[in-house]
Structure 1
């Protein structure tokens, strides 16, 4: 760089400091400093391989706080949206699961059993009439407010659910191609503080009688039992509880080989690491994967800046490494899942967690989580209370839903090593990840790979491909806010290559098509956007 250019940039930076003061936001500098960056990608080997159901989703157990709301799962629109997220796990759990008991043979008279839900029903019969759907959606909007108040107060009502809720959950999972994981109540305890399995056995017997293939969890965030229920369960006892459940499952013809996942602790802090170690000592052999929960920030005191801050995004790596080290120390080789995760805890951040801005946290978590070695990431929540859902109370898709569908379409389980050659200064705000292209759902040749990138800067980023890839055909799927500025980032809609995404009708998604790029040109990523780039003729050895 010549001295004149250096002087001009110094002058520009000085001008900003003089007229905007010392607290100028970094993005203002970046329009002067952001230059094309060179991409380094190793296409010769796979560094990690994640589960084909890596991106999975949850239905919050709060949906069953009143059982009539489970009927929303019979909505044609919700089934259409959920089917596009297959293959994946469908976790039914959360805080409310530890306050739920199975109470068979009691049904809502308002909704007769013979209308929906039998195992033998076809998916077409599992359809909610439009008038009933509209009525339930209005009631659900009010119900979510009550559930949020319950969360704020930290007092949780006990709930009973019937066979019908189980029928609908299983039918929904079965009809959408998702694999159901059902969360059992771990707060049912004996006088000796071991798990009381009587109610769970009743539920298991019912599910087996209907031949419902499903997996299981036991308890949600046991580190918070003191706060939620007034007593503690230490890690070693929790492991014994899981071992007890595994023995019950092993006596079942249907469930002897079914998945069991836990302990679903919150991210490492204070005694939580000790709880995890104790759990693994006694319960590691009982589980198929070790699960923990991660949220970046407190939903009640966060800001838009947090959602765009690379330091906040990097916190995932620190916490993940702590969990991986703990698991590897006690139970080497055990798979680790993010069993519940989103942007902000406490039900999400109002006006942020369901907007376009939330996509930066979500996409970075998918990229970084796979690179670090997490096997599955379960998004809180497909539908449920709070503001971090993929589908709103009207069952319309939010920006993170469209991002998730594109990820499913374009990203395969094989992780490649990719980075920009400099991560200093403003370039830290450009984050890149690379996988082999999904061979099952995308019409691309073997050897194709998908680069996905996030631009946390105000300015357009230019990415130069390595010389041996510069002539490969590339296709771009660029996701942007529908309008410029902060209001656009806070929008509940998203543009794909310039067009706002919306359903064609309640049973049809739009075609998510990429735009061909000129061979040899740098990849262009607008400010405050994220994108997937498919290099269809890359001939990546790792992706054959």
Structure 2
């Protein structure tokens, strides 16, 4: 085994035993050691044909209809001009041609707080402009956003944590974006405003709550972000017991509100559990579980500073997620049985993502497998970091054009329903399984499909094309295939920032309009051909699954 292979195996073992500390934003200079220069992808197995078994008679799990959700970078709110940019262009990109307001909605738009930045609300005068002025402003702001995202990373490098104020108008813009996009809004309040007794100081939060209440804004709430890192980044230590008490305090405030008395409250948004994080999560649940609607935690597979292309395609790396999910579920079930569990923040690589990987086609393997595995194991919602923001794991680029994971997310929302069914690959592929697949009822809100339709989605981590044979009881079903491949060919194809759907490169129709996402119809009985290094959704239109009617 080469030294590189040994190092990679050690990383996998470390992920299995204890996840490395997660931080949403890291220093730009640390990206220098990133391994993105690999030219050759190692095939794990030479599988040519497989058979699958599909259970259409039992719902194994049922997730929230908002299962695939997105987060937005808090830095946009700190400068309201960037919220204007999001409203001018961003929400229109959630709209599919001939299907307005149906795309990533229903979903959750979550606004995270930097752990060490303080937010205060202040009034601001609204400025109105013509359509031409909006277009000019949009073009200018796109250029400014490129510089802003670099500035944010540089601030993290230098450890600058400054107080930042946002205005009432910025809150208005944020809510308008969420509302026009058909998103539910979760607003993250600052937990680092503390009293001399180290309890949460709610004064500032109550100002914001009163303003939102006066505007009749329908939204939910969080308190803090990754409390396990407060001491390291802000010099403030908050244990799980006190954190739970802080959430009880916020819950009591919400209970007294005419608008928010029955609203959602989510937390503690702890990083994936290990060592003291398990104690923090346990202590929090012991004191604060009754205050929250769902328990939230964060997950990333790898360190963005030293990961590789091979890691993004390694079944063993993907399988580490199951270990962490089961650990969290076990903790929650032991302290607060029946409590819903969410992935409150997640993507491929922590540290702002992996340069040259997290915003490319290859990142889709981690993202789609995470969606399949999280639903299969019992998580209720998965919130993707990030729709737009600093780092390299965003869903849209600096020009607000969709990246590969955006198109993947859009298809998932369109085709996949909340009912999780059982699917099994009948093959002997050894310890590494390059073909991964999941089965759900088809999204019933899609009027294009008949009741009883099911959606099978599959990933081929192998360089070779694979033929999938479906069971006999589905042989009479017409199938609509949505196959996603890199828009480029050759050894650099997995690094592409564009994607093909059934051979056609996906592009915006114009600055505000998404193209129609059309499948390719296959005749009944035809075996499915999944190209090498691709993933696909297959809708079995006439499956007539009893549990999907």
Q: Is TM more than 0.5 here?
A: yes
* Corresponding residue of 1:182: 187
Q: CA deviation at 1:26?
A: 8.4
Deviations 1:63-105 (A, max 9, x none): 2343322211222354333752111111011426x51322322
Aligned mates of 1:383, 1:489 — CA distance in 2: 22
Instruction: Provide, for residues 192-237 of structure 1, a one-character-per-residue CA deviation record: whole Å limited to 9, x for no partner.
Output: 1000000000000010011111000000000000111012100010
Where structure 1 has 5 or more consecutive residues not aligned to the other structure, the ranges are 1-23, 117-124
Aligned to 1:172: 177
- What are the superposed Cα offsets for residues 147-190 of structure 1, whole Å, 9 maximum, x if unpaired? 11222344322211110110000011111110110000000000
Aligned to 1:379: 384
The RMSD of aligned alpha carbons is 1.8
CA distance in structure 1 between the aligned counterparts of 2:428 and 2:434, rounded to whole angstroms: 8
Give the 3 Å change call, closer, same or farther, for CA 310–152 of structure 1 in structure 2: farther
**Which aligned pairs between 1:532-543 and structure 2 lie closer than 5 A?**
532-543=537-548
Give 1 or 2 for the bigger CA radius of gyration.
1
Deviation at residue 518 of structure 1 after TM alignment: 3.0
- CA offsets 1:369-406 (integer angstroms, 9 cap, x no match): 00010000001011111111101110101000000000
2:253 corresponds, among 245, 248, 257, to: 248
Give the aligned partner of residue 41 of structure 1: 54
d(CA) in 1 for partners of 2:133, 2:396: 17
Equivalent residue of 2:390, what SS? coil
Tell me how many residue pairs correspond in the alignment. 505
Going from structure 1 to structure 2, the CA distance change for 1:127 and 1:325 (only over 3 Å counts) comes to farther
CA contact 1:347–1:385 (8 Å) conserved in 2? yes
Q: Does 1:450 align with 2:469?
A: no
Deviation per CA, 1:466-488: give whole Å up to 9, x if none.
11112211110000001223311
Contact 1:194/1:237, CA 8 A, preserved across alignment: yes
- 1:268 counterpart (258, 262, 273): 273
2:71 is aligned to 58
2:228 is aligned with 1:215: no
Whether 2:118 is the aligned partner of 1:100: answer yes
Q: How many angstroms apart in 2 are the aligned matches of 1:135 and 1:253? A: 41
Aligned to 2:98: none
Contact 1:355–1:491 (Cα < 8 Å) also in 2:
yes
TM-score, scaled to structure 2:
0.89
Local SS of the residue matching 1:113? coil
- C-alpha deviations, 1:348-381, integer Å up to 9, x for none? 1111111001100100010000001000000101
TM-score normalised per structure 1: 0.90
- Whole-Å Cα distance in 2 between the matches of residues 442 and 177 of structure 1? 18
CA contact (8 A) 2:226 2:270 kept: yes
After superposition, residues 7-86 of structure 1 pair within 5 angstroms as: 27-28=42-43, 30=45, 33-81=46-94, 83=101, 84-86=103-105
Unaligned runs of 5+ in 2: 1-38, 96-100
Partner Cα separation in structure 2 for residue 127 and residue 467 of structure 1: 59
Cα displacement (A) at 1:28: 4.5
Residues 78 and 378 of structure 1, relative CA distance in 2, 3 Å threshold: same
Map 1:102-501 to 2 at 5 A: 102-105=120-123, 107=124, 112-115=125-128, 129-422=134-427, 424-425=429-430, 428-501=433-506
- Larger mean Cα displacement after TM superposition, 81-90 or 523-532: 81-90
Post-superposition CA distance 1:251-280 (Å, at most 9, x none): 000000000000000001110010000000
Deviation of the 1:426 alpha carbon: 8.1
Counterparts of 1:308 and 1:85, CA distance in 2: 26
Q: Is the 8 A contact 1:59 1:93 kept in 2?
A: yes
Distance in structure 1 (CA, Å) of the matches to 2:85 and 2:506: 23
Q: Is the 8 A contact 2:453 2:548 kept in 1?
A: yes
From 504, 507, 528, the equivalent of 2:512 is 507
The structural deviation recorded for 1:128 is: 7.4
**Residues 1:412 and 1:468: Cα distance change in structure 2 (over 3 Å):** same
Inter-CA distance 29–102: structure 2 relative to 1 (3 Å threshold): closer
SS at match of 1:443: coil
TM-fit CA distance, 1:146: 1.1
Which stretch has the larger CA shift, 127-136 or 161-170? 127-136
SS at match of 1:362: helix
Deviates more, 1:501-510 or 1:248-257: 501-510
Distance apart, 1:445 and its partner CA:
0.5
**CA offsets per residue over residues 311-330 of structure 1, 9 Å max, x none?**
11111100000000000000
Describe the SS at the equivalent of 1:412: strand
More displaced stretch, 272-281 vs 416-425: 416-425
Q: CA deviation at 1:422?
A: 2.6
1:87 aligned partner: 106
Q: Higher relative contact order by CA 8 Å / sep ≥ 6: 1 or 2?
A: 2
Corresponding residue for 1:14?
none
